[in-house]
A and B are shown apart, each in its own frame.
Chain A
Amino acid sequence: AQSVTQLGSHVSVSEGALVLLRCNYSSSVPPYLFWYVQYPNQGLQLLLKYTSAATLVKGINGFEAEFKKSETSFHLTKPSAHMSDAAEYFCAVSDLGGGSNYKLTFGKGTLLTVNP
């Protein structure tokens, strides 16, 4: 069974500082990994997706994530935080061992606060 652990339910950074949101996963087969962002009262928006091509994945809004198989990690980073980055971020894993469309398993989310 697949699972996702997001370390830190709340991360606070200053504007212009590095953003690092941590995600570790477990999966019995090579996974697909995702990061989503959610603004208040809205649905989730895809930031980026790892699909076993390049291990460093670039997404929207200047975010990127690196897949590290040895550490079973997929941490999300952004070099310089903007006030508009304040939101909740979700990591998710999809087990494609079944060979067809399949459900994602989500982490519990990390709330990012950006201080002026």
Chain B
Amino acid sequence: DGGITQSPKYLFRKEGQNVTLSCEQNLNHDAMYWYRQDPGQGLRLIYYSQIVNDFQKGDIAEGYSVSREKKESFPLTVTSAQKNPTAFYLCATQDKGNTIYFGEGSWLTVV
């Protein structure tokens, strides 16, 4: 089945803990993105990667880190430096026609 797989769907983080959200794609797209969604704020770009082994900060990168060691994978780590991590996180890829496709999202809650 082609598409973007995000896991886990729901994740709980304790104070001071780092957590990693997984994003895997089999669409053969070069570009991948992480967005954060909060109610009433739309989507805000955290990090993006246009090619393997390269990534760029988005608008709200502080407290987050990423890696892009493989074309298929773009994991996002939410570090303890992110003071308000509770949100819905969306991974996306972009085709050569500049259309962005989204995964089903992951909910992160601080407990």
Which A residues lie at the B interface, using CB under 8 A?
Answer: 9, 32, 34, 36, 41-46, 49, 51, 90, 92, 94, 96, 100-104, 106-109
Residues of B within 8 A of A (CB): 4, 6, 30-31, 33, 40-43, 45, 48, 50, 58, 90, 92, 94, 96-105, 107
Find out whether the CB atom of A46 lies under 8 angstroms from the CB atom of B101: yes
**Identity of the chain B residue whose Cβ is nearest the Cβ of A109 in the assembled complex:** B42
Report the minimal beta-carbon distance from A24 to chain B, rounded to whole angstroms. Answer: 15
> A107–B101 contact, CB under 8 A?
no
Q: Which residues of A contact B103 (CB under 8 A)?
A: 43
A43-B102, A90-B43 given; 4 more Cβ-contact pairs under 8 Å: A43-B4, A101-B96, A108-B40, A109-B42
Separation of A102 and B49 alpha carbons in the complex (Å):
10
Roughly how many angstroms separate A101 CA and B31 CA in the complex, as a whole number? 7
Q: A64 CB to closest chain B CB, in angstroms?
A: 17
Q: Which residues of A contact B33 (CB under 8 A)?
A: 103
Chain B residues near A102 (CB-CB < 8 A) = 98
| Complex interface: chain A residues within 8 A of B31 (CB) | 101
**Is the beta-carbon distance between A44 and B99 smaller than 8 angstroms?**
no
Q: CB-CB < 8 A to A106: which residues of B? A: 42-43
- Chain A residue contacts of B101, Cβ below 8 A: 46
- Residue numbers in A under 8 Å from B104 (CB-CB): 42-43
Which A residue's beta carbon lies closest to that of B31?
A101
Residues A51 and B43 in contact, CB atoms below 8 Å apart: no
A and B contact pairs by CB, cutoff 8 A, 11 listed: A9-B40, A34-B99, A34-B100, A36-B102, A43-B4, A43-B103, A44-B90, A51-B97, A94-B98, A101-B94, A108-B41
User: When chains A and B are docked, how far (Å) is the Cα of A76 from the Cα of B97?
Assistant: 21
Q: Is the Cβ of A46 less than 8 Å from the Cβ of B98? A: no
Give the shortest distance, in Å, between B40 (CB) and chain A (any CB).
7
Chain B residues in 8 Å Cβ range of A108: 40-42
Contact assessment for A43 and B98 in the assembled complex, using a CB-CB cutoff below 8 Å: no
Q: Are A103 and B58 in contact (CB under 8 A)?
A: yes
Chain B proximity of A8: nearest CB distance (Å): 13
Which B residue's beta carbon lies closest to that of A101? B31
Chain A: CB-nearest residue to B51:
A101
